[in-house]
């Protein structure tokens, strides 16, 4: 079982909750013609967020994949305006804290996709 969190480019996402959730659902169809393991075409702020996260929670797939296998290795799905990450449930609290802190540092939004649906945006 995974614990899923997402970050998004706040300049691309609608501000109303219902509109945001509809937009996010559309993004999470992963239908764009791109490599969802690559940062190519991803917004600069999301790239910054990713670089903050990889040392703490290495990627399971893609060019940054970890050769080591442990509970911190995570599955990143990288879109242009959204990055969705599936973490091991055993690291849920640590993942929440790290994702939220990195979102604040990088100036991206945050969605608690597995928890209470909290949406946070930078001011």
Looking at residue 51, what is its pLDDT?
98
Domain ranges of the chain: 2-117
pTM of the model: 0.95
Per-residue pLDDT of the chain (123 residues; tens, 9 = 90+): 899 999 999 999 999 999 999 999 999 999 999 999 999 999 999 999 999 999 999 999 999 888 888 899 999 999 999 999 999 999 999 999 999 999 999 999 999 999 899 999 997
Distance (Å, whole) CA 71 – CA 84: 17
86 Cβ partners below 8 Å, 6+ apart? 2, 3, 4, 74, 75, 77
Looking at residue 61, what is its pLDDT?
94
Looking at residue 105, what is its pLDDT?
98
Q: How many CA atoms lie within 13 A of 110 on its CB side?
A: 22
Do 8 and 24 form a contact (C-beta atoms < 8 A)?
yes
């Amino acid at each position: 079982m995974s614990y899923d969190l997402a970050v998004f480019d706040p300049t691309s996402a609608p501000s109303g909750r219902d509109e945001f959730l509809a937009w996010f659902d559309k993004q999470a169809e992963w239908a764009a013609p791109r490599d969802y393991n690559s940062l190519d075409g991803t917004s600069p702020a999301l790239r910054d967020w990713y670089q903050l996260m990889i040392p703490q929670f290495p990627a399971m797939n893609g060019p940054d994949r970890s050769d080591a296998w442990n509970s911190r290795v995570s599955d990143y799905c990288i879109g242009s305006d959204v990055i969705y990450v599936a973490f091991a449930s055993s690291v849920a609290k640590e993942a929440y804290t790290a994702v939220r802190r990195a979102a604040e540092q990088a100036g991206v939004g945050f969605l608690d996709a597995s928890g209470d649906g909290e949406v946070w945006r930078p001011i």
